[in-house]
């Protein structure tokens, strides 16, 4: 049996370009997993193994790897920073016990950092903060610490202070030990010396150390009492208090460094071991029944209990489908039969592997706390639970956002439809935020995703990985429809054609629902005018109709329909008759209920040099944007706005032109809002 207290399942997450992948490379080098460091900007990073990642210098899919530090096993997932791939961050955080939030020393808390931090809060993941790139021009450790407090509403527990800034950055002072770690300029992470605190920093170190101790001792009443009596706790006691506060999400130990220059990563690794929880210390996953209601049971991390595992990522490679799985309880061995509660089918485990980016090591078994990949699973998708067939249970499933943008594709070569279809079905399995549909009217294949870059990468993968060249149509926005008026109406479906006929009469109210409720059906029929057994048929009739709205055929949302009365015939009425009545009633009433078109509104975050701020704001206003906030800092200005997605196509090119190539932006879906009346007529 493995000692689970020596396990750390951690993820590294941050805004695009804050240095996550570079930090992962340094961790792998320091832990002896790799011998030559690969650089992201050279396209040689270990965990960026897709061609698209190496070319663009960004991480697209999360990569898993294992390594050892001071006899502790670290299972690390390096996640993407780009907003179009947040789904990767979300599902990785779901299965991790701890995280390292990386922030850029000059960029600070950037838009994607906020989204990822929010996901980590939702998943209740303990984190340490690493402020990277302190060697860069404009880097300011203290400013980023303040931003963490103000923007993320989090409490950073400063554990180190930087020595020097920008090109003078040489190392840091460890506040607990009062020792300075100083690296030379050889760029070898092992070329450092531990010295006394620089004389000009002694007072600052003492004041920050006092603040650290005061925060830490709050998590142990006995230690607090001793401290108030004037007895300073020893370092081991302090570490125990910090570990408890970190686990309880009361604060986040904060470190700094420069991963690219190999300074500071050892202290971060020590913090992972010292402060982040092991699998047994994390709140156990709740088990749910098939309807999604909690049963009151939990998947407790214990190898002797029944198997509970969550498939959190599917990846297709040259050896077949890989299912990345986190084991919460029990053990899993080659040859075992497991039950997939989502499909109700059992599957046999053929091969188990431990991943190191895209290479692997075969293993015979895994136990609670492990993250492994299973080779060749047939019907497993992201979010499915694998469990002991004799003692079935489901873990809380994952919820994925709906795509907001679509493009049509068709193969360039004749007869390429089948090959494209097979490739797309594999890609849909790998990425739950990527949808594929066939337009019934035109017969076109429609790809739906989270943004332009997301779909761009998918088309690239089709071409390179699967050898399918496609012609891509213009991007289309995923509009929705809703209604604005309350309407009482009635519909009778009557049909005689010899023998028994069809009859169903319904009286109903159509009204706008609460925002975000989708479709709601309620029956207030009393006295049996519409027998209870026909209510589900009426509901089904309306429910299957809402996919096509009355204005332009987009799905209709935030709609409430109440069945108030009706009539039935003892011989001619049937469930089918009432379902047909409901469908016809939908077509009859919706056009009279003030239908309106809704468009997706994006939360846009733009960074621009000060001198171009007026141009950028003017341009966002022209795009029907609503400016939410403007902040300026020494690096430039940051503008937050809500802008309709339809106005944002090709924005990156316009922004670069306006800002001489220095502007950056990110956007994510916020909500649906009514289109202006002039727009609806287009």
> pLDDT tens across 48-80, in order?
333 443 443 333 344 467 778 888 888 887 565
* CATH architecture assigned to 4-281: 3-Layer(aba) Sandwich (3.40)
Rounded to the nearest 5°, which phi and psi values hold at 322?
A: -110, 130
* 619 pLDDT above the threshold of 90: yes
* CATH architecture assigned to 289-395: Beta Barrel (2.40)
In this prediction the pTM is 0.67
User: Rounded to an integer, what distance in angstroms lies between the CA atom of residue 308 and that of residue 331?
Assistant: 9
Got the DSSP string for 416-484?
-HHHHHHHHHHHHHH-TT-EEEE-TTT--EEEEESSHHHHHHHHHHHHHTT---EEE---EE--EEEE-
* CATH architecture assigned to 598-680: 2-Layer Sandwich (3.30)
Confidence band for 166, pLDDT divided at 50, 70 and 90: confident
Confidence band for 137, pLDDT divided at 50, 70 and 90: confident
- At 455-485, the pLDDT tens digits run 887 888 788 777 888 888 877 788 899 999 9
Enumerate the domain spans of the chain. Answer: 4-281, 289-395, 405-478, 485-593, 598-680
Q: Considering only residues 143 and 394, tell me which one the structure prediction assigns the higher pLDDT.
A: 143
Rounded to the nearest 10 degrees, how much is the dihedral formed by the CA atoms of 82, 83, 85, 86?
120
Closest to 531 in 3D by CA, of 560, 492, 570: 570
User: Rounded to an integer, what distance in angstroms lies between the CA atom of residue 300 and that of residue 327?
Assistant: 10
Looking at the domain that runs over 405-478, which CATH code has it been given?
A: 3.30.70.870
Highest mean pLDDT: which range of 114-118, 120-124, 423-427, 621-625: 621-625
Q: What is the pLDDT of residue 487?
A: 92
User: Rounded to an integer, what distance in angstroms lies between the CA atom of residue 360 and that of residue 355?
Assistant: 5
Token digits of residue 529: 């005018």
**Alpha helical stretches, state H, 176-264:** 202-217, 221-228, 235-247
Percent of the chain with pLDDT over 90: 22
> From residue 117, how far is each of 111, 125, 248, 315 by CA, in Å?
10, 9, 16, 25
CB atoms within 10 A of CB 238: 21
Helices and strands counted in the chain (H then E): 16, 38
User: Rounded to an integer, what distance in angstroms lies between the CA atom of residue 145 and that of residue 114?
Assistant: 14
Mean pLDDT of the chain: 81
User: Rounded to an integer, what distance in angstroms lies between the CA atom of residue 213 and that of residue 241?
Assistant: 9
At which residue do the structure tokens 């694998």 appear? Answer: 386
User: Rounded to an integer, what distance in angstroms lies between the CA atom of residue 204 and that of residue 201?
Assistant: 5
Confidence band for 111, pLDDT divided at 50, 70 and 90: low
Average pLDDT over residues 549-555: 88
Helix (H, G, I), strand (E, B) or coil at 224: helix
- Residues contacting residue 414 through CB under 8 Å, at least 6 positions apart: none
Average pLDDT over residues 146-175: 89
User: Rounded to an integer, what distance in angstroms lies between the CA atom of residue 487 and that of residue 559?
Assistant: 12
Confidence band for 432, pLDDT divided at 50, 70 and 90: confident
Q: Considering only residues 5 and 186, tell me which one the structure prediction assigns the higher pLDDT.
A: 5
**Domains 4-281 and 405-478 in one fold:** no
Closest to 506 in 3D by CA, of 478, 534, 484: 534
Rounded to the nearest 5°, which phi and psi values hold at 444?
A: -75, 150
Looking at the domain that runs over 485-593, which CATH code has it been given?
A: 3.30.230.10
């Amino acid at each position: 049996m493995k000692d689970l207290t020596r396990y750390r399942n951690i993820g590294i997450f941050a805004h695009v370009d804050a240095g996550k992948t570079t930090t992962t490379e340094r961790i792998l080098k320091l832990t002896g997993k790799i011998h030559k460091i690969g650089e992201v900007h050279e396209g040689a990073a270990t965990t960026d193994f897709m061609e698209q990642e190496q070319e663009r210098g960004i991480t697209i899919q999360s990569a898993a790897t294992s390594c050892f530090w001071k006899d502790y096993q670290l299972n690390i997932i390096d996640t993407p920073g780009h907003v179009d791939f947040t789904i990767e961050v979300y599902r990785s955080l779901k299965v991790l016990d701890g995280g390292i939030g990386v922030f850029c020393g000059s960029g600070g808390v950037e838009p994607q950092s906020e989204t990822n931090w929010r996901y980590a809060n939702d998943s209740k993941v303990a984190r340490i903060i690493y402020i990277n790139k302190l060697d860069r021009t404009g880097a300011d450790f203290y400013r980023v610490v303040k931003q963490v407090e103000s923007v993320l509403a989090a409490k950073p527990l400063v554990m180190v202070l930087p020595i020097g800034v920008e090109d003078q950055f040489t190392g840091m002072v460890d506040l607990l030990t009062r020792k300075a770690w100083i690296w030379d300029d050889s760029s070898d992470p092992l070329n450092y010396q531990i010295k006394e605190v620089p004389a000009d920093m002694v007072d600052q170190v003492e004041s920050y150390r006092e603040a650290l101790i005061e925060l830490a001792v709050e998590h142990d009443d006995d230690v607090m009492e001793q401290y108030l009596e004037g007895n300073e706790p020893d370092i081991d006691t302090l570490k125990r208090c910090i570990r408890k506060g970190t686990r309880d999400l009361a604060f986040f130990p904060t470190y700094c460094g420069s991963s690219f220059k190999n300074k500071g990563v050892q202290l971060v690794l020590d913090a992972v071991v010292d402060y982040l929880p092991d699998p047994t210390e994390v709140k156990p996953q709740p088990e749910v029944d098939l309807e999604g209601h909690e049963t009151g049971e939990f998947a407790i991390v214990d190898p002797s209990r029944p198997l509970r595992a969550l498939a959190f990522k599917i990846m297709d490679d040259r050896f077949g489908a890989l299912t990345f799985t986190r084991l919460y309880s029990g053990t899993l061995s080659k040859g075992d039969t497991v039950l997939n509660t989502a499909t109700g089918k059992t599957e046999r485990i053929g091969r188990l592997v431990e991943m190191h980016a895209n290479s692997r090591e075969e293993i015979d078994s895994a136990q609670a706390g492990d993250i492994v990949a299973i080779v060749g699973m047939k019907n497993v998708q992201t979010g499915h639970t694998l469990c002991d067939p004799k003692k079935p249970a489901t873990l809380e499933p994952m919820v994925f956002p709906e795509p907001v943008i679509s493009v049509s594709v068709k193969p360039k070569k004749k007869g390429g439809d089948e090959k494209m279809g097979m490739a797309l079905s594999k890609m849909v399995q790998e990425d739950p935020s990527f949808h594929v549909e066939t337009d019934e009217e035109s017969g076109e294949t429609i790809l739906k995703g989270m943004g332009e870059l997301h779909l761009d990468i998918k088309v690239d993968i089709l071409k390179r990985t699967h050898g399918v060249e496609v012609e891509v149509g213009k991007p289309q926005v995923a509009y929705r429809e809703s209604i604005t008026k309350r309407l009482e109406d009635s519909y009778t479906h009557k049909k005689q054609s010899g023998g028994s006929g069809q009859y169903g009469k319904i009286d109903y109210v159509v009204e706008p629902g609460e925002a975000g409720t989708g479709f709601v059906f309620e029956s207030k029929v009393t006295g049996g005018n519409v027998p209870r057994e026909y209510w589900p048929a009426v509901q089904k009739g309306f429910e299957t109709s809402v996919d096509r709205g009355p204005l332009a055929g987009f799905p209709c949302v935030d709609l409430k329909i109440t069945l108030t009365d009706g009539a039935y015939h003892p011989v001619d009425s049937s469930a089918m008759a009432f379902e047909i009545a409901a469908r016809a009633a939908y077509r009859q009433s919706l056009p009279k209920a003030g239908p309106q078109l809704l468009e997706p509104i994006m939360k846009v975050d733009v960074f621009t040099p000060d001198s171009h701020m007026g141009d950028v704001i003017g341009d966002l206003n022209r795009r029907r944007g609503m400016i939410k906030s403007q902040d300026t800092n020494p690096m430039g200005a940051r503008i937050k706005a809500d802008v309709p997605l339809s106005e944002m196509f090709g924005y990156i090119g316009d922004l670069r032109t306006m800002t001489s190539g220095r502007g950056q932006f990110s956007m994510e879906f916020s909500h649906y809002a009514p289109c202006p009346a002039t727009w609806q007529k287009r």
